[in-house]
């Protein structure tokens, strides 16, 4: 009899422990937590029932599940390839900042799903990049980079807005072209630099020529004034010759006559 009593007691404890564990499991399944920066969507047997805000709540165990969708700013980076207006191959890395419109999280979850980034964002970036770069030549993609970025950003905002994905910023991290095109661009820049250098030299030569003309005209005008004033006397001309003479006689003479008569220079008879 004692043995039966012990067995009954043990069985009751086992059953009690089982129900306690079951209650703990049910309680853990009933309590949910939605972190800040996320929206919770409760589904009952797969069907959406309600949207829950960040915090702690209770749901039906097993029957209901919580799906979390972030509404924080997220970043997606995509490598895109396209052709320019002049048919140059262009590759680029695109970085996009975006977030999910929390008020329409249920619509996105129902119509697109949890993987809306892969389904919507990446293909949209590729398509927008191809459509935008096709409107510019390869050189314009470099010189008008900000204009290209703004046009692509506007197009992406419009395309994703109907899916309740808000684009915050569209950045073109880099443009890359074929080696042949890069070499052509470098050669063009060198040629342009050479042209600019030649223009600067020509302008400098023109300035120097004008300066020489002005100086020559000034000397001519000065001599004319002196001639008119009678200041160019033989004595004054002899004085100028003496001040310009370095005191050295010519080393080469022709015939018996010297090239310069020293007496004439110094004014002696």
pLDDT the model gives residue 256? 52
List of residues 6+ apart from 73 with CB closer than 8 A: 97, 98, 99, 168
Question: What are the CA-CA distances from residue 101 to residues 4, 18, 107, 156 (Å)?
Answer: 65, 45, 10, 15
What gap in Å lies between CA 97 and CA 255, rounded to an integer? 98
254 φ, ψ (degrees, to nearest 5): -115, 125
pLDDT digits (tens, 9 = 90+) for 217-265: 766 666 666 566 665 566 666 666 666 656 665 565 555 555 555 555 4
pLDDT digits (tens, 9 = 90+) for 181-194: 766 665 665 556 66
pLDDT the model gives residue 161? 92
Backbone CA torsion sign across 46, 49, 51, 54: negative
77 φ, ψ (degrees, to nearest 5): -120, 130
What is this structure's pTM?
A: 0.59
pLDDT the model gives residue 32? 83
Q: Show me where the domains of the chain are located.
A: 2-70, 74-177, 234-266
Each residue's pLDDT, cut to its tens digit, for the chain (269 residues) gives 555 565 565 666 676 676 677 656 656 677 888 888 898 899 988 888 888 888 888 888 878 888 899 999 999 998 988 888 988 888 899 999 999 998 898 899 989 988 898 899 989 999 999 999 999 998 888 889 999 999 999 999 999 999 999 999 999 988 888 777 766 665 665 556 666 666 777 777 777 778 877 777 766 666 666 566 665 566 666 666 666 656 665 565 555 555 555 555 445 55
What gap in Å lies between CA 239 and CA 24, rounded to an integer? 126
What gap in Å lies between CA 70 and CA 196, rounded to an integer? 56
- For residue 48, list its beta bridge partners: 43
Residue range 74-177 in CATH 3.40.47.10: no
């Amino acid at each position: 009899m004692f043995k039966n009593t012990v067995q009954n007691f043990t069985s009751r404890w086992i059953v009690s422990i089982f129900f306690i564990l079951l209650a703990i499991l049910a309680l853990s399944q009933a309590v949910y937590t939605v972190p800040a920066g996320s929206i919770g969507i409760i589904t009952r047997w797969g069907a959406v029932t309600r949207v829950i805000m960040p915090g702690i709540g209770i749901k039906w165990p097993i029957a209901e599940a919580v799906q979390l969708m972030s509404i924080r700013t997220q970043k997606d980076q995509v490598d895109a390839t396209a052709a320019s207006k002049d048919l140059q191959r262009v590759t680029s890395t695109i970085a996009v900042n975006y977030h999910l419109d929390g008020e329409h999280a249920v619509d996105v979850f129902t119509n697109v799903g949890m993987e809306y980034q892969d389904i919507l964002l990446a293909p949209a970036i590729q398509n927008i990049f191809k459509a935008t770069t096709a409107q510019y030549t390869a050189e314009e993609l470099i010189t008008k980079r900000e204009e290209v970025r703004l046009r692509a950003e506007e197009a992406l905002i419009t395309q994703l807005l109907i899916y309740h994905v808000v684009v915050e910023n569209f950045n073109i991290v880099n443009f890359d072209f074929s080696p042949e095109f890069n070499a052509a661009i470098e050669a063009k820049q060198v040629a342009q630099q050479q042209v600019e250098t030649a223009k600067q030299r020509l302008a400098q030569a023109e300035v120097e020529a004008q300066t020489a003309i002005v100086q020559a005209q000034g000397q001519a005008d000065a001599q004319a004034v002196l001639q008119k004033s009678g200041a160019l006397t033989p004595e004054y001309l002899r004085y100028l010759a003496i001040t310009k003479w370095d005191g050295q006689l010519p080393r080469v003479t022709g015939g018996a006559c010297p090239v310069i008569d020293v007496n004439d220079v110094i004014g002696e008879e």
